[in-house]
Structure formats: structure tokens, C-alpha cells
Amino acid sequence: MQTHEIRRRFLAHFENAGHTPVPSASLILDDPTLLFVNAGMVQFKPYFLGEAPAPYDTATSIQKCVRTGDIENVGHTTRHNTFFQMAGNFSFGDYFKEGAIRHAWTLVTGSLEDGGFGFDPERIWVTVFENDDEAERLWQDVAGLPPERIQRRDGRDNYWDMGIPGPGGPCSEIYYDRGPEHGLEGGPVVDEDRYVEIWNLVFMQDIRGEASPKYGAAPIGELPQKNIDTGLGVERVAFLLQGVENVYETDLLRPVIDRVQELSGRSYDEGTEEQGVRFRVIADHVRTGAMLIGDGVVPGNEGRGYVLRRLLRRVVRNARLLGITEPVLVDLVGVVRDAMGPSYPEIVTSYERIAAVVRREEEAFLATLATGSRIFESAVSDVRASGSTMLPGSSAFALHDTYGFPIDLTLEMASEAGLSVDEGAFRSLMEEQRSRAKADAAARKHGGADASAYREVLERAGLTDFLGYSDQRADATIVGLVVDGVGVPAATEGDDVEVMLDRTPFYAEGGGQQADTGRLFGDGFTIEITDVQTPVPGLSVHRGRVLHGEATLDAAVSAQIDVERRAAISRAHTATHLVHAGMRKALGDSAAQAGSLNAPGRLRFDFTSPEGAVPASVLADVEDEVNTVLLGDDEVRAFVTSMDEARKLGAVALFGEKYGDAVRIVEVGEYSRELCGGTHVGRSGQLGLVKLMGEGSIGSGVRRVEALVGIDAFRFLAREHVLVNQLAEQFRAQPEELPERIGGVVDRLRAAEKELETIRAREVLSSAGSLVDGAEDVGGIALVAARTPEGVGGGDLRSLAGDVRGRLQARPGVVALFAPDGDKVSFVVATTEGARERGLAAGDLVKAFAPAVNGRGGGKPDLAQGGGSGVAGIDDAIAALRAEVARAGG
């Protein structure tokens, strides 16, 4: 059974049972506790946590997931993927254990003709939580499972919670017995390679405290509403139903393996296990990389970008270990596109952008490999010179951490060089790094503010009714007041307060748009609102200060936004849509929005650009096109429709945003069509003018354009006009002649500076003779230690030191030159062969005197250099150097 058919059957089964189908969320959501979406329940968290009421009683979805915590297991086991599809069914206070078990059993063992998966019921085993008598009884009563195929496990295996205080509950897991040829008898508790878990049913019924029932602690209470959260591994079901050995050989990943066979000329099925692992890692990681890029992640040096970069580089490295020396990523993501496209059409439409990203990343990594190889060869030379046959773990870690050089490639190359690697030391350093990363992740997980006061208001008063699309003022009622994180019945003059209303015209910050400001007017009190946020979904929290009087719960207010500020922000937001559309028209779909800021009169637009900087001519064309749309005075129309209809209309969705079944589309004539919840102008002509201020890089593959809108753009151009006229007067030229005139002046200035540098360098080098003449004899060693004139560059300093050393000829000698430059100092130390024979190494001498100038440095025995911030300590440094030379001379 093909994977796409497995997905179809799962959704059809639960839709027929009355579940609402919910599309997969993006792999990146605005959740500070998660790097990537890693489970099917993530997009439903607000409903499970009680932060928002569920819009349906039951739901079903097939969620894209990425987990990279066990990346080292990829390729070695039958069941680990970094990207996988989690099919699930969810109940929010509707059915509970019996319904979940019945739904699962019917689908898993139902006949193919009836829409089931057709698994043999005699090969199904289940596990239940160690004290869950009810679940064990239901498996016998509902499914007819014999007691010997129901096993109990402790909380580490069969209890679920979120890792922090909150909802949790016992689990029941469904396993399939692959047969005695795959392992030992005895069920999942004995062998999880033979007995493969395919489905986990979570019975969410408890409230856990600080200690988790996973490790024996008792829950601190029961949830007021019992819920169901399940997760079926689509890839695992696929490999079992397709009769292959593991998840890497299914119809979605085997095509990648086959293509790698063609490119490498090596066999997957007949090669060594080590070779098979490389094939599997490539297949897994290239698919994950394509899916992440499809959802807007770009390679980088931290966070999500670093994970993506690591995955792609592991693909390239394993390809090289299989003998593939040519670039492979673009070729392989094309295979992924063809395999995943039927289920994820966005991978097809985004292919050119994905291909551009991986092409650039592979080119950069191949250059890194070349650099790393040179560093590796240097490290090998040092090892051999020391008489050792082992590359230090610190060297291997430096190659890995600084240059992105994979450890197994280091091991392979070391073996070819006849060396081993101190893997123990390397693993220790890696573990230290992982421990730091885990500590950071834990801090991030617990870093969210306490939202209990907001949830209490939400449960009592419901969602905030937003009126701001049509109203700038509204009558409302105060339904919640929070001061210092605690709900209060009243707030008095001078209090910083958070106000929740039943209805509001204030826009809460989101989607790149800044929040509204304004005032709340009540009977005898006024509150200045400076910010609006949504700490829990659906609840607008107005932050401000009581200017006078006392505000109380249930008081009536007139909510009034700052109309001019709203208008300026709305102009900026509409302009952002136009700039986004213009960039996509000019650069293609690869120019996908990666962030934005819509503030009064200005905007900031971040977008992916795998090809790097955007030419100035392209920016000029985009600006011209956008302003032409403004002249057309097109209608700006917003309407709500279904997600399916939005896709048909070609509306642009933004990566990382979560959309429900009903979505809001904002159109600017026929030029722009995006999903958006922000506020906008009525017609494009209201923007007046859009002026792009330039673009630049804010990270690998991500560029930023900033622009001014409306009167702010006009004022900028007016200032520019005055400046140009002033320059034209100064240069006695027409404005259009200024670039050439100014360019000529700059060229002459640079030529003069270069000539001055040449003269200064000549003068510096001419002092070599006098420096040698002034050499001091310190214990039979000629010491030249001197301060050079102000501002001598590092290159001239090294040349002068080398010249002085050469003039010392066969004499044992040490040359140390110090070049002050403002409040900093540079220094160079050079030694002759005779000095080195007396045990004087340049790098060691630097360590002896560098502290005197608050500096540091190093180098080889014959030449070392560095710098410091203590110019006043140069004389002390020379004295320390003289003492060190004297010890060697004596």
C-alpha cells in the first residue's frame, strides 16, 4: 500500500466518524518551547491547555514533524526518521478511552475492502500504563485481545506529559509483530525491533505538578475535561504494509536511495552495513532538508538554520564517503519533490526556491571541506612531528565545531593517513556542548511567563471580539484587570495595568504589525494604552497606565485608538504586501517573506534570497512598479474564505503562521493577494508614495529591505533634494553630474592615501639599519626592542621585523617591535636561528610580555604577533622581554 493511500485511508476513516479534518501546520510555529513542530498535537496545544476553546469536538490531521534529538540513530535503526508524518485523531471532551481504542482497532485491523489497513489481528500487541486497569479491560472487551498480548509498562514508556506542569495522562501503544525472523519472542517489553510501535493513544486525564508521573509522582488533580491525543507513525505503517525492512525503503525514500546508487555506482542492497547507513542518512536528511526549506527555514549558524545546515552537510559528507564528488543536493531534492508532491503540493510549487537554497549551501560547504582539509593536513603534520600516531580529540572537535568538518570524515581521513583519533576526548567535548544546549533548551521551555491570570479571564469571559477592521472607537466592558501578573478587582491612578475587554477596536501586535495605542475612557477614570498583546490565543491584553481615577471590573469604557497612528501603520502594512509581490515578480517564488515590521510610516521586509544581494537595478524596478500600483488607486479588499479556496486563488501564505479552516485574504487589485489578519488602507492610492531605502543581509540567505511610506517618504525625498542641491553648488555641477564628480574626488583621495602609505612604509623600512645598530647585547643575544612611529600597519611591522632579523645575520637575535595606534598597540616578535637554538621561541616570548600591554598573541617559534589595549605598558613589556631573553642568555 502506497504511503499516499495510507494517509487517505486514515483521514477518510476519521472523517466518516465525524472528525473535522485539520490541515498540517507549518513545521515552524511561534512557540518558544519548540524548535520545530515535533508531534501532531502541537497545533492543538491551546485547546489542551485551556488557553482557547476548541472550534470542534473532534478532529483529525496528518502533521508534518521534525525531531533531531536522536539524529545519530538515523540510518542505524528500522524506525528513526528526522522528518516524519504523524497521523492523529483528537477528542476535546467528546469520547475517551473506549472510543479511542475502538477507532484505532477498527482502522488497524479493518479489511482493505472496508477502508482499513488490513493488519492481522493475531499479530497485534498493546502496552498500557502500569496501573491503567481500565485500558487493559477495554482492549479485551472492545478488541478481543487476549491478556497475554497486553503488557504493562511504567511511566517512562507509557505516560505522557509536556515536560512541565500541566495536562498529562497514561498511554496505550499499539505494536505489530514482524515475526520470529526479526527478533526474540515476548512482546514489546522484550524486543522493539521485532515488535514495532505504530500508534500511541494518549488518554489525557491528569494535571501533573512539578514532578512527573513518568517517574512515579502522583498527579495533583484531574482535568475538568478528558481529552484524546493520538499519534500514528505514517512511515512505520508504510514500511510494514509495503513489506520492506525499514522506514528508509518505503516508496517515499527508496527513490532517493536508488538515485544515490546511480550517482555513486555502489549498491545499497549488497554493500556493507556501514555503507547502508550512509545511503539511509542521505535519504532521510535530504527529505527533511527539503521540507524545512519548503516551510521557510534557511541554513544558518544558530537555531533552526543550524539544524538545517547540519542535515544538509551530513548529506554531502555521506555522498563523498560513497565516492560522489560532484554536487548532489539539487538532484536529490528533485527526487524528494516527485515523491512527496502528491501529499505536499507546496514542495512542487516551491521547488525552484528549495533548489536555489541547497545549491548555495552545498557550494559553501564544499569550500568549507576544502578549508577543513587543509587544517586537517596541518594537524596531521603536527601529530607526526611530535612522534604521535593519534590526532588529539581537541583537534577533531575544532574541525567539527569551527569548520563544520564531520567526525566520521575526520576518522576516515585519519585512517588513510595512518593515524587514529582520540575519540574519547572528542566525545567528551561534544557531550559538554550537548549539555550546554540541553540546559539552554530547558531554560527556553520554562521561560514563558505565567499565563494563569489570562486563562482565568478567558475561561470566564471568552474570546475578545475584535472590531478594529471597521471601527476606530467602540463601547466595551472591562472583563479583566491584571497588575504585576495578578488579577485584581480595581486599578487606581498611577498603576501600570493590563486590561481585558469583551470587545475592542485595538489591534494586538501580530503578523509584523505593531499594536495600536490610544485610551480607554470610563466613568471617572482614563487609561493610556501603550501596547496590546495576545499572551494566550484569542485574548487581547491592553497594557497601559491609569492616568486618573479608579478602573474596576465590569466597568463600561469607550475604547478609542490613535487614529493617525493606525492609518500610518495600515499604509505601511499594505505597502509591505506590495513590496512582497514586487520582489516575487522580480526574483521568483524564492523571495519568500521571512519576517516583517509594519510601523507608522515605515516598513521592514525580510525575504529569502538564495542568490545573495539584490541588484540596485532590481530594487529600482520594484519601487517603480509598486508606485505605479499606487497611481492606479486599486481597491484593497479583505474577505474570509476557506483555506482550500485561498489556495485555488493563489493567495500567498506566510511561513510559520498557523491558519485555520477559515482564512482572511487581503487583495490589492490584481497585483497582490495574501493571507493576512492585519489592517490596511481602503485603496492603494492612499499610500501616497513608497520609497525603498536599500537592502542588506541579515543572515545566510536572508535579505532585508526597508522602506518609507506616505508623508515619511515625501519628507525623506525633500531632504534628499536639498542635500543634492547643496552638493551641486559645492561642486559647481548639475545634479546628474554629481556621481562622476564625487567619484573623481574619491579616486584622487585614495590615490593620495596610497602614495602616503608608500612613503611611510619606505620611511619605516629605512629605519632597519639604525635599529640593528642600536641592538642591545643581553647575555650574548642581540635584542632589538623598539617602539615604531604611530600608525604603522601590521604588514609594514612584519616586513620591518623580518628586515631587521635578516641584518642580524648569523648572530643569535630577537627582534620585538611595538606599533602604537591611538589607544591600541600591535607587536611582532621575530627570532634568528641562533636564538631558537638557545631556546628562544617567538610565541613563548609573546606570552612573557603581552600582559604588560593588556594583550595576547602567538605564532610559530620564528615569528609571532599580537595586539593589546595598553599603550602605556610598552616600556614594561620591553623590560619583561629583556628579562626573559636574559634568562635564556644566562
Cα 496–Cα 502–Cα 503 angle in degrees, nearest 5:
100
* Length of the chain in terms of residues written: 890
Sign of CA dihedral 565, 571, 574, 575: negative
Are the beta carbons of 418 and 383 closer than 8 angstroms?
no
* Residue 208 backbone class (left: φ over 0; alpha: ψ -120 to 50; beta: rest): beta
| Per-residue CA distances from 253 to 240, 268, 329 (Å) | 14, 13, 15
Question: Is the distance from CB of 610 to CB of 359 less than 8 angstroms?
Answer: yes
CA distance linking residue 337 with residue 728, whole number of Å: 56
How far apart are the C-alpha atoms of 357 and 312, rounded to whole Å? 11
* Sign of the dihedral through C-alpha 291, 294, 300, 302: negative
Q: What are phi and psi of 2, to 5 degrees?
A: -70, 150
The backbone region for 75, taken as left when phi is positive above 0, alpha when psi lies in -120 to 50, beta otherwise, is: left
Instruction: Report the alpha-carbon distance of residue 689 to residue 693 in Å, rounded.
Output: 13
The residues near 643 (Cβ < 8 Å, ≥ 6 apart) are 23, 659, 660, 661, 662, 663
Tell whether residue 13 is among the known ligand binding residues: no
Non-local CB neighbours of 533 within 8 Å, separated by 6+ positions? 508, 509, 515, 540, 541, 543
One-letter-per-residue 3-state SS of 69-125: CCHHHCCCCCCCCCEEEEEEEEEECCCCHHHHHHHHHHHHHCCCCCCCCCCCHHHEE
Question: What residues contact 759, with CB distance under 8 A and at least 6 apart?
Answer: none
Helix/strand/coil (H/E/C) assignment for every residue in 392-417: CHHHHHHHHHHHCCCHHHHHHHHHHC
577 is in an annotated binding site: yes
| Dihedral class, residue 605 (left if φ above 0, else alpha if ψ from -120 to 50, else beta) | beta
Q: Cα–Cα distance between 604 and 413 in angstroms, integer?
A: 47
3-class secondary structure, 556 = strand
Annotated binding-site members for Zn(2+): 573, 577, 676, 680
Binding site, annotated residues: 573, 577, 676, 680
